[in-house]
C-alpha cells in the first residue's frame, strides 16, 4: 500500500510562508536539496493543488537548462518533469508535464490510488494537505523546520476539532540548521 506523505518546510514559529506568500527565508542549500531529491525520486507521484502546481510548472520544466543551476537543481528538474502529477483544481481544464487534473478530493478515489503499485505519493500545498487531513488520508508528515521566526503569514496546520496521534520515526539536523521531523500516523 502506498503512503501519502506531506513534505513541507516551516519556520520555527509554524509558518510555511510569510506575508505576501514570501518563502525567501527557506534555507535550501545543496545538502538539503540533495536530500529532497533522494526521498522524492523513488516516489510514485505528486499530489498538489493548482497554485502549487503552477508555481512548480513555472520553473522546474526547464531548470536543468539554466547554466547557473546546481547539480541537485538539475536533478530535481528531471525528477519533477518525469513524475506523474495529480493536480486538484476546480478551475484548470488541463495541466501539462505529466499531470492529471482532479476536480475534488474523493476519499475512495484516493484510496484506490494508494492501492496501486508504485512508490509513495508526495502531497504538497497547505490547503490540499488540510483537506486530506480532514479526510484522514495522510500517512506521514516530513516537516522541515527552518531556523527562523517569520512572525506572521500562513500557518501550515489549521485548527482541528480533535488531536491526531503521530509517532516520531526520524529526526535529522542538516548542516544549515534545518531540522527534519518525520512522523507517521498512529492508526
pLDDT score, position 92: 87
Average pLDDT, the chain: 94
pLDDT in tens, 79-106: 999 999 999 999 988 888 889 999 999 9
Q: Which three cell numbers stand for residue 44?
A: 510514485
C-alpha cell at 183: 512522523
- The backbone torsions φ and ψ at residue 44, rounded to the nearest 5 degrees and listed phi first, read -95, -10
114, 135 Cβ separation under 8 angstroms: no
Tell me what percent of the residues of the chain surpass a pLDDT of 70: 100
With a CB cutoff of 8 Å and minimum separation 6, the contacts of 169 are 140, 182, 183, 184
User: H-helix or E-strand containing 15?
Assistant: strand 15-17
pTM reported for the whole predicted model:
0.93
Note the pLDDT tens digit of each residue in 162-183: 889 999 999 999 999 999 999 9
Q: Is 117 exposed, middle or buried (0-12, 13-18, 19+ CB in 10 A)?
A: exposed
Residue-wise pLDDT tens digits, 134-172: 999 999 999 999 999 999 999 998 888 888 999 999 999
Nearest residue to 164 via CA among 134, 144, 143: 134
The whole-number pLDDT of residue 116 equals: 95
pLDDT digits over 29-58, tens only?
999 999 999 999 999 999 999 888 888 889
* pLDDT at residue 149 in the model: 97
* Residues in a beta bridge with 88: 49, 102
Cα–Cα distance measured from residue 25 to residue 14, given in angstroms and rounded to the nearest whole number: 13
Angular region, 175: left φ>0, alpha ψ -120 to 50, beta rest: alpha
Eight-state DSSP code of residue 21: G
Q: Are 72 and 30 a contacting pair, CB within 8 Å?
A: yes
Amino acid at each position: 500500500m502506498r503512503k501519502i506523505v506531506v513534505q513541507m518546510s516551516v519556520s520555527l514559529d509554524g509558518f510555511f510562508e510569510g506575508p505576501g506568500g514570501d518563502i525567501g527565508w527557506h534555507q535550501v542549500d545543496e545538502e538539503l536539496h540533495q536530500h529532497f531529491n533522494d526521498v522524492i525520486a523513488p516516489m510514485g507521484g505528486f499530489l498538489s493543488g493548482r497554485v502549487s502546481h503552477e508555481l512548480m510548472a513555472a520553473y522546474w520544466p526547464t531548470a536543468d537548462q539554466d547554466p547557473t543551476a546546481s547539480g541537485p537543481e538539475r536533478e530535481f528538474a528531471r525528477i519533477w518533469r518525469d513524475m506523474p502529477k495529480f493536480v486538484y483544481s476546480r478551475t484548470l481544464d488541463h495541466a501539462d508535464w505529466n499531470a492529471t487534473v482532479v476536480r475534488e478530493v474523493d476519499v475512495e478515489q484516493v484510496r484506490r490510488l494508494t492501492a496501486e503499485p508504485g512508490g509513495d505519493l508526495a502531497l504538497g500545498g497547505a490547503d490540499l494537505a488540510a483537506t486530506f487531513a480532514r479526510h484522514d488520508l495522510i500517512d506521514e508528515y516530513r516537516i522541515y523546520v527552518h531556523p527562523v521566526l517569520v512572525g506572521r503569514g500562513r500557518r501550515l496546520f489549521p485548527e482541528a476539532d480533535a488531536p491526531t496521534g503521530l509517532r516520531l520515526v526520524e529526526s535529522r539536523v542538516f548542516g544549515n540548521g534545518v531540522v527534519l521531523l518525520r512522523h507517521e500516523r498512529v492508526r
